[in-house]
Amino acid sequence: MISRKDVLKMSGAGAFALAASRATELMAGATLMNGAAPTPPPDLRRLTTADLRALPKLKPAAAIRRTGRKRTFTLVLAPAMIEPLPGHSVQLRSVNGIAPGPVLRMTEGDDVEITVVNRLAQGTSIHWHGIPVPFPMDGAAMMSQQPIAAGQQFIYRWVAPQAGTYMYHSHYNDMEQADSVFGMIVVDPQDPGREPHYAVDVPIAVTSIDWEPARNIEAQAVLANSMLMPAMAVNPKADPNPGMGDAMERMDMVEYWCFNGKTFPATEPIRVKQDDLVRVRFANITHMTHPMHLHGHWFRWIAQDGAPLPDPRPMNTIPVDPGRTIDIDFIANNPGVWPLHCHIVSHMVDNRDLMSGLVTAVVYDGYSLPTMMQPYQTTTN
């Protein structure tokens, strides 16, 4: 993809030399990619939502019994160097060394015990967002508990609720949330027959990471002897040209927009086989709503906030609001390589106009990864 700067230069008088050099590489005609054959005969079934509408719904739990099984987790909060794009690191508050933290998976009725160890320089508390825990376990600092002091730990205990997608995050202050003290919780049903069988089931945690050094508290110490601008200059997002893009877009671009802690093209692809039933679970801790769009397929919106929808609806773009979990599913009935991305343009390009941010690809068996994703994955198909 040609950059904004190049385009600008192309539009200026006498600047076609540079344009031509990049154009040679990027614009060598509209060749089909990925060894695509000529258009195959159309699959008429794919042109309606009939198959999707015929899928069974998620059945909500009528009641839950305790399993008697104890699930223990430990979440260690500590600063860590994180690479939203390999080669470009920021220091963040992390959970178990990653940001966002690990997905916690359990079954309805499990006895859950989570030890939160605070190795940050300030207090914290963890809120189990969407889970109807008893009041003392809610993790809302100054509401249900004093913050967990630096160097201390706290044990949260609750019983896993009805099957669905939930999240956990700091409820101490916004900088911890912004730094991705946040993760997803997936609860499976006691009776697996209440849900369709998913060949692929992908949780996607949506975060935004400021590249502003001032926001990265621990990083600030590292950068203490640096000027701000040089620090920014080593950052791939750090050269915004104030003459380009509108204010909204420039603002969005001071953040790494991430799926599971990575920004495109370092995001993990979703690998599927023809006829797979695929489930994607979104959880959004950012400050903006992201309308997630899938190419080539309709999907169903099947659940939100851990609760199945009584009326799953076919669509191809679903707004995922801050603080919400959204589950969708789709039938892998259209072989190829299909972008899945936020449709707010400034969340899917960087300030050089290269594709970046909240983008991944659904890649069918037998198809190669998009070229730009290949350096970040160990296999290319």
Range 319-338, binding a second copy (CB under 8 A): 319, 321-324, 334-338
Q: Applying CB under 8 A, what is the total number of residues that bind a second copy?
A: 149
Asked if 78 interacts with a second copy (CB under 8 A), we say no
Angle, alpha carbons 54-59-64 (nearest 5°) = 170
Q: Nearest Cα to 127, choosing from 84, 192, 174?
A: 174
**Any contact of residue 269 with a second copy (CB under 8 A)?**
no
With CB under 8 A as the contact rule, the residue among 59, 96, 157, 374 that binds a second copy is 157
Report how far residue 94's alpha carbon sits from residue 217's, in angstroms, rounded to the nearest whole number: 12
Q: For residues 24 and 378, which CB has a smaller minimum distance to a second copy in the complex?
A: 24
Contact between 174 and a second copy per CB under 8 A: yes
Q: Which of 347, 223, 261 is nearest to 82 (CA)?
A: 261
Stretch that binds a second copy, among 69-77, 80-88, 170-178, 273-281 (CB under 8 A): 170-178
Spatial distance between the Cα atoms of 53 and 23, rounded to a whole number of angstroms = 45
The reply to whether 277 sits near a second copy by the rule CB under 8 A is no
Residue 198 Cβ vs a second copy, minimum distance, rounded to whole Å: 20
Residue 18: what are its φ and ψ, rounded to 5°?
Answer: -60, -45
Q: Give residue 110's Cα distance to chain centre.
A: 27
Q: How far is the CB of 145 from a second copy (least distance, A)?
A: 5
CB of 199 to a second copy, least distance (A): 19
**Chosen residue from 73, 168, 172, 257 binding a second copy by CB under 8 A:** 172
61 binds a second copy (CB under 8 A): yes
Give the one residue of 291, 374, 376, 377 binding a second copy; rule: CB under 8 A.
Answer: 291
Stretch in the footprint of a second copy (CB under 8 A) among 34-42, 68-76, 192-200, 269-277: 34-42
Give CA separation, 50 vs 44, 278, 310, 330, 362, in Å.
Answer: 11, 17, 18, 12, 22
In the complex with a second copy, the residue whose CB is nearer, 145 or 260, is: 145
* Burial track 149-188 (b if 16+ CB lie within 10 A, e otherwise): eeeeebebebbbbbbbbbbbbbbbeeebbbbbbbbbbbbb
- Residue 205 near a second copy by CB under 8 A: no
Task: Kindly list the strands in the beta sheet with 299-304, ordered across the sheet, starting from the edge strand earlier in the chain.
Answer: 255-259, 200-210, 277-284, 325-331, 299-304, 307-315
Binding residues among 295-314 for a second copy as defined by CB under 8 A: 295-298, 304-307, 309-311, 313-314
Cα 346 to Cα 87: distance, rounded to the nearest angstrom? 22
Nearest approach, Cβ of residue 86 and a second copy (Å): 19
93-152: contacts with a second copy (CB under 8 A):
108-109, 121-123, 125, 127, 129-130, 132-138, 140-150, 152
If we measure between CA atoms, which residue out of 360, 358, 354, 317 comes closest to residue 339? 360
* Binding positions for a second copy, 4-33, rule CB under 8 A: 4, 6-8, 10-13, 19, 23, 26-33
The binding track of 219-258 with respect to a second copy, each residue x by CB under 8 A or -, is -xx--x------------------xxxxxxxxxx-xx---
Distance in angstroms (rounded) separating the CA atoms of residues 110 and 69: 5
- Under rule CB under 8 A, residue 81 binds a second copy: no
Between 102 and 336, whose beta carbon lies closer to a second copy?
336
Residue 8: both structure tokens together: 């600008």
